[in-house]
Amino acid sequence: MSRKKLPRFEHNIIASNVIERGKELYTTIKGKWKEIYFKNDNPITLELACGKGEYTVGLSKQFPETNFIGVDIKGDRIARGSKKAIDLGLTNVAFLRTGIQYLDEFFEPNEVDEIWLVHPDPQPRDKEEKRRLTNQKFLDIYKIYLKSEGIFHLKTDSSFLFEYSLDLIMKDPEFEIIDYTNDLYNSDLKEGHYDIVTYYEKLFNEKGSSINYLKAKLIKKAS
C-alpha cells in the first residue's frame, strides 16, 4: 500500500459516513438504511462504481431531502468523497465499500428509488462483456433493488458502451427510455446534471470527447 493511500484507509476506519468490512453497520444495514443510518424516510439514490463520489456529493447538495449512497470497492477513492461530504456538513450521504455484485448483502428488493452509473469502465473487448456494468446480468440486479417507477441513469464518454447499453435497455420489457443523447453538453438534458463533472470527464472533455447519457424508468411486471 502506498504512503499516499494509507491516510485515506485510516480515514475510512473512523469516518461515520463510510460503511466497510469490520464496522457493525456492514452486517446490519441491509434493508434498514433509512431507519438506522439516515434516520428519515427520504428516497434513496445510489451512485454505483462511484469512484471519488463526485455525483454522490454533488447531487446531495442539490437535493437535501434525498439520501445518497456511493458504492465502490476502492477505499482510497471513496475516502475522498467521504472527506468532501464531511467538510460540507452533508448528512444525507453515505459511502459503501463493496463490489456491485454483492448488493444483495446490503439492500432489500425495492429499497432504491434511483441509480446513477457514471463513466464506468467500458470493457470493450468481447471477452470483457461479463464485466460491463450494463450487461443484462447487471441490469437484472439493478431491477431487483429499484422500485417500480425507479430511474436508471447512464453517463459515459464511450460510444461503444452507450450503444451497447441503449440497445439492451430498449429491448428490456421492464425498462422505458425517457431521454437519451449522444452529446449531453449540447443538449437540453445538460441542466439535469447541475454542472457536476467528474475527474475523468474533465479529461475526456479536454480530449474533445462528447458525453453520452440515457435515462430510463423501470416498470416492474406484476408478480
Task: For each of the domains in the chain, give its residue range(s) and CATH number, in order of start.
Answer: 6-218 (3.40.50.150)
Beta partners for 156? 212
pTM: 0.95
Q: Given pLDDT bands bounded at 50, 70 and 90, which one contains residue 3? A: low
41 catalytically annotated: no
Q: What is the reported pLDDT for 200?
A: 81
**Rounded to the nearest 10 degrees, what angle do helices 75-87 and 6-14 cross at?**
60
pLDDT at 96 over 90: yes
CA distances from 9 to 61, 75, 202 (A): 25, 6, 26
| Residue pLDDT, tens place only, 182-207 | 999 999 999 999 889 888 888 877 88
Average pLDDT estimate for 30-49: 98
Residue partners of 141: CB distance under 8 A and separation at least 6: 100, 101, 103
3-state SS string for 140-197: HHHHHHEEEEEEEEEEECCHHHHHHHHHHHHHCCCEEEEEEECCHHHCHHHHHHCCCC
pLDDT at 223 over 80: no
Average pLDDT estimate for 160-171: 98
Q: Which is catalytic among the residues 41, 87, 104, 121?
A: 121
What SS3 class is residue 136?
helix
Largest Cα separation within the chain, whole Å, is: 52
Query: Residue 86 has which C-alpha cell?
Result: 464531511
